Structure 1
C-alpha cells in the first residue's frame, strides 16, 4: 500500500520564501525607481540581491532538495560519454543527407498528387 507522507516542512520556510520573493520583486521595482542610476551599479545590486535570495531559498527544505538534485545531476552528466568531433560531424552529415532525400521525395510525391488532381478535376492548376 502507498504510504501517506505528512508535510513536515518547517513553518519558517514560508517566511523564507516570502523574503526571497520580496527580494526578487524588489529588484524589479528598484530597477524602475532608480533608472537614473548607472546600469553597472544596478546590475551589481541585482546580482547581489539574487545571490542573497538564492542563499535564503537554499536554506529551505525544497531549496536544499533542489541543490541535492542539481549535484546528483552534475554527477550523472560527468558519466556521459560524449561523441568525438568526427562522430558528430559524420552524424550531422547523415542527418542532412537524409533530410535532403526525404524533402526531394516529398516534393516529387506532391507533384504527382497535383498532376493527379489536375487530371481528375480537369483544372489546370
Structure 2
C-alpha cells in the first residue's frame, strides 16, 4: 500500500513540476516574441527564426503538458471524441436546406402571430382605458 501511495505522490509532484515548466515555457514564448519584435532590442533575429523559436518552444510545452496525468486524460478524451464523431450521421445538403427554410418560415409565422396579438391587445386595452379617449 505504501509503495502505491509513494508512487502516486511522486507522480503528482512530477506533474506539478511539469506544469510549472509548461507555464515557464509559455511565459518565455510570450516574452521572447514581444522582446525580439522590438525595433530597438539588442538582438533582432530574422522573423523566420523568431517564428521557428516560438513553434519549437510551444511544441516542447505541449509535449510536457501531454505527459502529465491530466494531459494523458485529455488525449484519451480527444481520441474517444473523434471515434464518437465518426458515428454521427450528418444530414445531407438537401435536408439541411429544408430544415433551415422550415425554421425560417416558422420563425416568421410565430413573429407575425405575436405581432398580431400585441396589436390586438394594445387596441383592446386602449379602448378600455384612458388611452382610447
TM-score after normalising by structure 1: 0.82
Tell me the equivalent position of 1:61: 69
SS, match of residue 111 in structure 1: helix
Q: Which residue of 2 aligns with 1:15?
A: 17
Distance 2:125 2:54 in 1: 63
Aligned residue for 2:89, secondary structure, equals coil
Deviation at 1:39, TM superposition (A): 5.4
More helix by share: 2
Count of aligned pairs: 119
The alpha-carbon distance between structure 1 residues 102 and 40, as it changes in their structure 2 partners (threshold 3 A), is farther
Give 2:99's match in structure 1, choosing from 91, 116, 122.
91
Q: Which has the higher contact order (CA 8 A, sep 6+)?
A: 1
Contiguous gaps of at least 5 residues in structure 1: 1-5
Structure 1 or 2, whichever has the larger Rg, is: 2
* Uncovered stretches (5+) of structure 2, i.e. residues with no partner: 39-43
